[in-house]
Amino acid sequence: MNIQNELTQVALRAVKELYGVEAAPEQIQLQKTKREFEGHLTLVAFPLLRLSRKRPEDTAQDIGQFLQANTDIVAAFNVVKGFLNLVIAPQAWIALLEDVAAQDRYGFRPVTDASPLVMVEYSSPNTNKPLHLGHVRNNLLGWAIAQIAEAGGNRVVKTNIVNDRGIHICKSMLAWLKFGGETPESSGKKGDHLIGDYYVAFDKHYRAEVARLAAQYEADGMASEAAKAKAEQDSPLMQEAREMLRKWEQGDPEVRALWEKMNSWVYAGFDETYKALGVGFDKIYYESQTYLVGKALVEEGLSKGLFFRKDDGSVWADLTQDGLDEKLLLRADGTSVYMTQDIGTAKLRYDDYPIDKMVYVVGNEQNYHFQVLSLLLDKLGFKWGKSLVHFSYGMVELPNGKMKSREGTVVDADDLIAGMVAEARRTADEAGKFDDMDEQEKAEVARIVGLGALKYFLLKVDARKNMLFNPEESIDFNGNTGPFIQYTYARIRSILRKAAEAGVEVPQRLDPATPLSEKEADIIQHIADFAAVVSDAAKDYSPSGIANYCYDLVKEYNQFYHDYSILREADERSRALRLVLSQQVAKVVRLGMGLLGIEMPERM
């Protein structure tokens, strides 16, 4: 049963029979009744006044009387100005609860071969350093958006684009040749951390070299800024890195072999971090495979007059008529820029998948880049180009002194994950949550709670805003946190286990005459809202909408749990209702948190 849909249909009949005109479905506006008024749902009469040609109060009274006479859903009503407050009959709420209970994936729309195909790109790491806190937020947002889009009835492809070429990669390679030669096995380090250390080593030696050269040039009488610029240009280390890049682009076998070996170490390290975060991809693209494709597309666009060449040989797009400026696509020496690579990646993706919608999960510093990319892809004939979605999100920081990285500047993803799990273990031990568990279960629940705290805290806020992530605050077992929601879920699972141990079954059907309190009706209504919350989140790309819905539901359930007995309830009908109610709260919370990539512990 869908109470709102049924009320909408009867209200449309009311308008036709009472006033002799047809109303559009969007004119029937139903919303939750404000807490200060009696009722559950409120019909807003104002959109119907042109049809009724009556005062708001009279229109609401007419429709209220019609609804009460023509449906069993409405037990009573009252009118406050132009607002018709409807009291839903207890048996309607019970039927709705049974309907939710009958659906394993309540609120999820079916996905068929004809469903729209949405591609979501996230992560986008560089192969010269490990993943960091910014990547953590990116990956969690991307994974959640993909899950929510699928729950909204779309086919979804999750993709990653890896920046595996360029001068920064050559810096790590050159440093490895010059300053070490370790392997992940010989060093005991994850591959991505090992290569990141060599990138840092290159920078350290390069800075020292530049300082030494600049001092020599200044001693010869050169001005300070000019001396530094010349030192950077003359640096033998940087010249070697540039030469290595030229060899890579020419396909030098030795350079390519080293590049493939070191990248394989990095990918193995990335995979460990992705697995720990609980995210993954259906297809991974590499910029080394896309930049030449993008270059060819730009040259094709040039030949068609879509772009223009300047006197120095560089190729540009003129976007001034679109309210932007001119955008460089190929440098004077013919090499690609990031925009060119993104065009090439788009081409390869479209060849692989018949995309209907493309969602890029990228920080807000790239807003302009995606404005331009959208226009360029549209000019080049990609049907989804103009409607591409840049899911733009803000930066995330930690308080000073919290979980510092190895370098003390960038917060390492692996350090953060390990720190969250350790913090969860410490907090739970202090609170006595793990007293009856063996060591293996303690470690597993600490992992689930630590990662749940991390994910929920990063996903509950509006992604467009910059945010401060406080690990200690995120693992509080009270308040708007992942552990609070997980603990409530575990509490419900405990109630259901105790019911089973006592031989009390959770029924599939309820007595329609079961007495229903206002609190019970409120929770049923809240459970039923999950379908609309998922639908809205899929339209708006809003993980925070799902997160805050789950918090509101468990907060309401905890108030109910405090005020009403469940297993000790003497009335069998009320006990059965409350068991079903508890079971469905747990199910919806598990589904909702699952969309965010958050696991639920069976006990805590």
CATH number at residue 20: 3.30.1360.70
Owning domain of residue 256: 165-262
Together in a domain, 257 and 170: yes
The domain boundary, picked from 46, 67, 88, lies at 88
DSSP states of 88-152: EPHHHHHHHHHHHHT-TTTTPPP--TTSPEEEEE----BTTS--BHHHHHHHHHHHHHHHHHHHT
Structurally, the chain folds into a number of domains equal to 2
Residue 81 in any domain: the answer is yes
List all residues 6 or more positions away from 546 whose beta carbon is below 8 Å from its beta carbon.
144, 148, 459, 533, 534, 537, 592, 595, 596
Report the pLDDT value the prediction gives residue 404, as an integer from 0 to 100: 43
404 within domain boundaries: no
Residue 233, in any domain of the structure: yes
The predicted model scores a pTM of: 0.92
SS3 578: helix
* 212 domain-assigned: yes
Q: Are 500 and 114 in contact (CB under 8 A)?
A: no
Of the residues 208, 236, 262, which one is the last residue of a structural domain?
262
CA 560 to chain centre: 30
Q: How many residues does the chain have?
A: 604
Instruction: For 25-80, give the DSSP string.
Output: GGG-EEEEPPTTSS-SEEEE-GGGHHHH-S-HHHHHHHHHHHHHHH-SSEEEEEEE
Residue 432, pLDDT score: 84
How many CB atoms sit inside 10 A of residue 565's CB? 11
Burial class of residue 485 (count of CB atoms within 10 Å of its CB; 0-12, 13-18, 19+): buried
Question: Is there a domain that residue 43 lies in?
Answer: yes
Q: In which region does residue 369 sit, left (phi positive, over 0), alpha (psi from -120 to 50) or beta (all else)?
A: alpha
Apex CA 209: angle with CA 206 and CA 214, to 5°? 125
3-state secondary structure of 81: coil
Is there a single domain that holds both residue 169 and residue 258?
A: yes
Q: What string of DSSP letters covers 327-378?
A: EEEE-TTS-B-HHHHHHHHHHHHHHHS--SEEEEEEEGGGHHHHHHHHHHHH
Q: Which of 508, 511, 520 lies closest to 557 in space, CA to CA?
A: 520
Number of helical (H) and strand (E) elements in the chain, helices listed first: 22, 14
Gyration radius of the chain over CA positions? 30
CB neighbourhood size of 437 (10 A): 16
Pair (256, 169) in one structural domain: yes
Which of helix, strand or coil describes residue 420?
A: helix
**Residues 419, 471 contacting (CB under 8 angstroms):** yes
Residue 147 within a domain: no
Report the 10 Å Cβ neighbour count for 90.
19
pLDDT-flagged residues of the chain (< 70): 400-409
Dist CA 562 CA 226 (whole Å): 73
Sign of CA dihedral 397, 400, 403, 406: positive
Cα 409 from Cα 399, distance rounded (Å): 12
Largest CA distance in the chain: 99
- Which residues on neighbouring strands pair with residue 357, listed in sequence order? 118
CB 137 within 8 A of CB 396: yes
Task: Report yes or no on 105 lying in a domain.
Answer: no
Last residue of a domain, one of 59, 88, 117: 88
**486 inside domain:** no
End-to-end CA distance of the chain: 35
258 and 169 both lie in a single domain: yes
Contacts (Cβ under 8 Å, ≥6 apart) of 379:
301, 306, 317, 385
Torsion angle defined by CA atoms of residues 362, 366, 371 and 372, in that order, rounded to the nearest 10 degrees: -120
